[in-house]
Amino acid sequence: MFKINYTWKNIITVFTGVLVLSACSRKLDKFPETAVTDASFWKTPNDLISAANALYLSLPVIANSYQDNYSDIAYATGPNNISDGSRLAPATSADWNDNYTLIRRSNTILEKSGSITGDQKIINQARGEASFFRAWAYFELLKRFGDVPLILRTFVLGDSLTQAFRTPRAQVITQIYADLDYAASVVPEIDVQANADYGRITKGAALSFKSRVALFEGTREKFFGYGNSKADLTIAVNAAGAVVNSGKYDIWQYAPKPDSSYFYLFQFVGEGKANKENVLVRLYGKDIANKISTHNVSGNIEQAYITPTKALLDLYLYKDGLPIAKSAFAKEQTTTLSQFENRDPRAGMTVFNKKLWYATSFYVPSFQFTVTGYKVAKWFNKTDWDNGSFTDFAIIRYAEVLLNYAEALYELNGSITDDQLNTTINKIRNRNGAGGVTPLTNGFVTANGLDMREEIRRERTVELAMEGYRYWDLLRWKTAEVELPKAILGSKYIKAEQGDLTNPKLTADGFIIAQPADKRSFRPNRDYLWPIPTTEFAYDPNLIPNPNW
């Protein structure tokens, strides 16, 4: 069987050599002078793979999880211009330029592959990966900007495409589906992928990402009242269902400490192909000696680049499966630790508590570094903190696929069966064994006056917390206008534990006000889409701004 044995160190090496792919954005009237030319490079199938290697540097880095700071469940050391409403249309934007750069690189590979002969498996692999990354880039553009120019070939000098109109989002979505379907048809399944190729695109990754795209668009259509939501939700159900029914993925449990599996999922022991929850990851390395690149997530957590909020803690259920307003376990918080008692164990594995801090006693975060009084536990690693971080970043987890599946089923049908809940949400809840949360059933929802949609959304938020999903979920649910203008609250101020603060801003019941409501803003007639960078209008007079930008 053919194996594509390219390591991630090779990816970085090749990226520095294949400069022919470095033409950027949609401003293509000038081409860079490079040491490697078109004529000398595009000769063999392996040249295509070398070019495809460079695409992987466009995968999200672990800092992408900080996008939760735009939402209600996370906050940094101060305000950002998205959630406080002060953002202006930028002159340029990496969110625009970098994605069109990725599209050009993908288009180049797809075009050059047509003139190369040789091992068709290698050619198809490169074409499949290029198609996946083109779909990835267009989804990143679409969820921010809406209608965007759909460019499916490379430019030539004087090309009319340099003055392209914005393509309707339905057409962009259709192309994304087509690219992902093609990728899924030619890249390998995870179980037959060579171990050395772990981290490359697989069929499961393509279908999982398709479920993410289709759920986003299907729910957005439903709540904004446009398009054919049932068609897209059906696509989401089918794509997620195909991954589930393949039997190639599973929810991971850490055998030595099963009741702490969720915490260890984001540590070194949770890395690698043996963990069947890892659908697509950005690789950083397995240890200090074998690191590919580094990030600084542990240091950034300490410095409060992202911190949880009271809004997140309030979403965690108690052991009885009930929320804070209904559970008999809920009681007035008297210590920093008491808020974690009898809660969904993921609360104390996402936010630092006594069991997870690397000290001999309970750690109360210093307000020198966190204005909410909370610290993130996900990804924090003492070894990383001392030596530079290299824990892998899971870009797509099987848990997300199950959550996509559950939500798409419910939004498509207006209901979800108990069997479907057991396949999805309850499977996730069972990760930590008997110490988890009471299963979710239709009878339980009815008996306790709960709302199934709200419970499905709750499960998604707490499972994926601090991974960068929440802001985008609020946008597609059309609830950003309700949640984002609210004050950002932190932990309850316990003076005996946290010492004296200078003029602390507290609610009437003693919770820290990190950002008051009058300093936050969300304009529904503007902020569901992002502003197109203004310099693009000079390059392309056929572009028009998004409403009220």
Q: In terms of DSSP bridges, do strands 393-397 and 488-492 run parallel, antiparallel, or are they unpaired?
A: unpaired
pLDDT of residue 426 exceeding 50 = yes
Place of tokens 């989804």: 139
- Determine the Cα–Cα distance for residues 279 and 204; give it in Å rounded to an integer: 7
CA 79 to chain centroid, in Å, comes to: 21
Closest listed residue to residue 92, CA positions, set 83, 102, 100: 100
Q: Would you list the DSSP string of 26-81?
A: S--SS----SS-HHHH--SHHHHHHHHHHHGGGSPPGGGGGGGGGSSSEE-SS--T
Half-sphere exposure in the Cβ direction for 324 (13 Å, CA): 14
Element spanning 203, H or E: helix 203-224
- How far is residue 57 CA from its own chain's centroid? 16
Report the SS3 class of residue 145: helix
* Residue 450 exposure: Cα atoms within 13 Å on the Cβ side: 23
Between CA 188 and CA 515 the distance in angstroms is 48
Residue 394 main-chain phi, psi, to 5 deg: -80, 110
What is the tally of helices (H) and strands (E) in the chain?
22, 6
Q: Rounded to whole angstroms, how far apart are CA atoms 14 and 31?
A: 20
State residue 293's pLDDT score. Answer: 64
Q: Model-level pTM?
A: 0.92
Q: Supply the DSSP symbol for 439.
A: P
pLDDT tens digits for range 307-341: 999 999 999 999 999 999 999 999 999 988 899 99
The mean pLDDT of 198-222, rounded to a whole number, is 98
Residue with the bigger pLDDT between 295 and 48: it is 48
Round the average pLDDT of the chain to a whole number and report it.
Answer: 88
Q: Which of 549, 540, 546 is nearest to 163 (CA)?
A: 540
Of 53-62, 70-79, 294-303, minimum mean pLDDT range: 294-303
As beta bridge partners, residue 484 has none
β-pair partners for 393:
282
Rounded to whole angstroms, how far apart are CA atoms 272 and 276?
Answer: 9
The neighbour count for residue 1, using CB atoms within 10 Å, is: 6
Distance between CA 155 and CA 394 in Å, rounded? 34
State the alpha helices, DSSP H only, in 227-329. Answer: 229-246, 261-264, 297-302, 310-315
Cβ atoms within 10 Å, residue 493: 18
pLDDT value at residue 222: 99
What is the H or E stretch that residue 132 is in?
helix 120-145
- In the structure, what pLDDT confidence band is assigned to residue 380 with cuts at 50, 70 and 90? confident
- CA dist 183 and 124 (Å) reads 9
**Within 10 Å of residue 53's Cβ, how many Cβ atoms?**
24
- DSSP string spanning 349-384? HHB--TTTSSSSS-----TTT-SSS--B-TT--HHH
Torsion over CA: 407, 430, 242, 266 (sign): positive
The Cα–Cα gap between 15 and 53 comes to 7
Map out the domains of the chain with their CATH numbers: 1-61+88-187 (1.25.40.890)
pLDDT > 70? residue 451: yes
Helix (H/G/I), strand (E/B), else coil: 389 = strand
pLDDT of residue 192: 96
525: tokens are: 């007639």
For residue 247, the tally of other CB atoms under 10 A from its CB is: 9
Q: What is the pLDDT of residue 386?
A: 58
**Stronger pLDDT, 19 or 533, i.e. the higher one:** 533
How far is Cα 190 from Cα 92, in angstroms, rounded to an integer?
A: 38
Average pLDDT over residues 42-70: 93
For the ranges 286-290, 478-482, 532-536, the lowest mean pLDDT is seen at 286-290
Is the distance from CB of 375 to CB of 364 less than 8 angstroms? no
Rounded-to-integer distance, Cα 179 and Cα 499, Å: 56
DSSP letter at 168 equals P
Q: What is the pLDDT of residues 79-132, one digit of tens each?
A: 999 999 999 999 999 999 999 999 999 999 999 999 999 999 999 999 999 999
Check residues 213 and 40 and name the one with the higher pLDDT. Answer: 213
C-beta of residue 379 within 8 angstroms of C-beta of residue 62: yes
User: In this predicted structure, what is the pLDDT of residue 406?
Assistant: 99
Strand partners, 376: 351
Amino acid at 99: N
For residue 47, the model assigns a pLDDT of 94
* pLDDT tens for each residue of 221-268: 999 999 999 999 999 999 999 999 999 999 999 999 999 999 999 988
Residue 4's pLDDT band (boundaries 50, 70, 90)? very low
Whole-angstrom distance between the N-terminal and C-terminal Cα of the chain?
A: 54
Q: What is the mean pLDDT of residues 291-301?
A: 67
- Identify whether the C-beta of residue 103 lies closer than 8 Å to the C-beta of residue 515: no
Q: What is the mean pLDDT of residues 152-165?
A: 80
**DSSP-assigned states of every residue in 441-498:** -HHHHHHTT--HHHHHHHHHHHHSTTTT-HHHHHHHHT-HHHHTTS-EEEEE--HHHH
Average pLDDT over residues 344-348: 95
- Out of 30-39, 184-193, 279-288, 317-326, which region has the weakest mean confidence (pLDDT)? 30-39
Which tokens hold the place of 4?
A: 């594509």
